[in-house]
Amino acid sequence: MSKLGNIRTWGQSIWLDNLSRTLIREGTLQRLIEQDGISGVTSNPAIFRKALAESPYYKEDLARLKATVSDPEARYESLVIPDIQAACDLLLPTWKATQANDGYVSLEVSPTLADDATGTITAAHRLHDRVSRDNLMIKVPATKAGMVAFEELVAAGVSVNITLIFSVRQTLDVFHAYLRGARRLVASGGNPEHLKTVASLFLSRVDSHVDPRLAALQTPEAASLQGKIALAVAKQAYHEYKSIFHGEAFAELANAGCKPQYLLWASTGTKNPAYSDVKYLDNLIGSETINTVPDATLDAFRDHGHVASTVENGEQDAQRDLSALRNLGIDPDAVGETLQQEGLKLFVDAFEQMLASC
């Protein structure tokens, strides 16, 4: 097993933050599963926009769809759903071997529905039925409407990757929405055996937003916090995860067969060239977590990453750093709200650009 595969010995799954027909048809995804232990795939509108623009394997199908299907979103779904299904099929052995705890592929509902709970629920069920794979995760944003939809989908037994989380506060809100939905599922007589949800906490964007604000303060204390806040948020979120899912709040649901909602580290490609290109992998390896990683960061970790249990290192420092940030007038919860809106706009823009090309 490769260095990436060895991360599993510490209880963490590595997923690929990329999907395209090229990865599937040329055998790259299969090799990543076999050689590096990749055990899941995440996708989003930006990823599929890039795939449709760069992969030669869509051209024939796109030309046919343009001649027969009038709606661009319907054409888009017809193009990418076979890729999602193929990736699910490749990861099905992982899903079975882990008793439905790993081996998932994420497909996002249209980000234009982020403020429409009913529309999100309807789209989620439609996509879930259309893909028709047990190891599909429907991706829903952690907006107010998205949270309503998330709870309803969990109560209906639909596996969900809830995304665009940027703060500890948002993470806690997601955890509690999952608990409410899972209680409803169990109370209604539903079977939680195949229910799995993850909470996608975005990291590099936090540092990219906070660092310039700290630099502008021009104080030694502010300077000392640069590059530390994203990891502080992640480590504090993991602390909250342990207290909830290894505590009384989850005990009854665990006895009923529900799985804990793992944290998924997202946006783990380092954006600041002054920082290590494996910063958000090396420092967040730990039990019952997932890291979804872009191709370039996978390559970097193979070359010079370090495999060790690190997610709980510096937990007290993380609390101190977040308190210090507040004392400097930067509220990490407010940062999370700002970044969620910015992230949603980026996804909407990417989605609309992709539809324009379809």
- pLDDT range class, residue 79, cuts 50, 70, 90: very high
Q: What is the largest CA-CA distance in the chain?
A: 63
Per-residue pLDDT, 155 = 98
Q: Mind giving me the DSSP string for 169-227?
A: HHHHHHHHHHHHHHHHHHHTT--GGG--EEEEEE-HHHHHHHHHHHHHH--HHHHHHTT
Does position 357 have pLDDT exceeding 90, yes or no?
Answer: no
Q: Per-residue pLDDT averaged across 32-53, rounded?
A: 94
Q: Which of 81, 117, 236, 215 is nearest to 170 (CA)?
A: 236
Q: Per-residue pLDDT averaged across 168-184, rounded?
A: 98
Alpha carbon distance 76, 49 (integer Å): 10
Per-residue pLDDT, 243 = 98
Q: Per-residue pLDDT averaged across 311-318, rounded?
A: 96
Does position 1 have pLDDT exceeding 90, yes or no?
Answer: no
- Catalytic-role residue among 59, 139, 235, 271: 139
Pairing of strands 136-141, 104-108: parallel
Q: Per-residue pLDDT averaged across 110-131, rounded?
A: 98
* Residue 263 three-state SS: strand
Domain ranges of the chain: 3-204+227-312+332-357
Indicate the class that CATH gives domain 3-204+227-312+332-357.
Answer: alpha beta
Per-residue pLDDT, 232 = 98
Q: If you search the block for the tokens 């690929």, which residue do you land on?
A: 16
Can you state the percent helix, strand and coil of the chain, rounding each to 5? 60, 10, 25
User: What does pLDDT average to over the chain?
Assistant: 97
Q: Per-residue pLDDT averaged across 299-325, rounded?
A: 96
Q: Per-residue pLDDT averaged across 153-157, rounded?
A: 98
- Give how far the C-alpha of residue 80 lies from the chain's centroid of Cα atoms, to the nearest Å: 18
Active-site residue, 3 included: no
Per-residue pLDDT, 159 = 98
Q: What is the pLDDT of residues 247-285, one digit of tens each?
A: 999 999 999 999 999 999 999 999 999 999 999 999 999
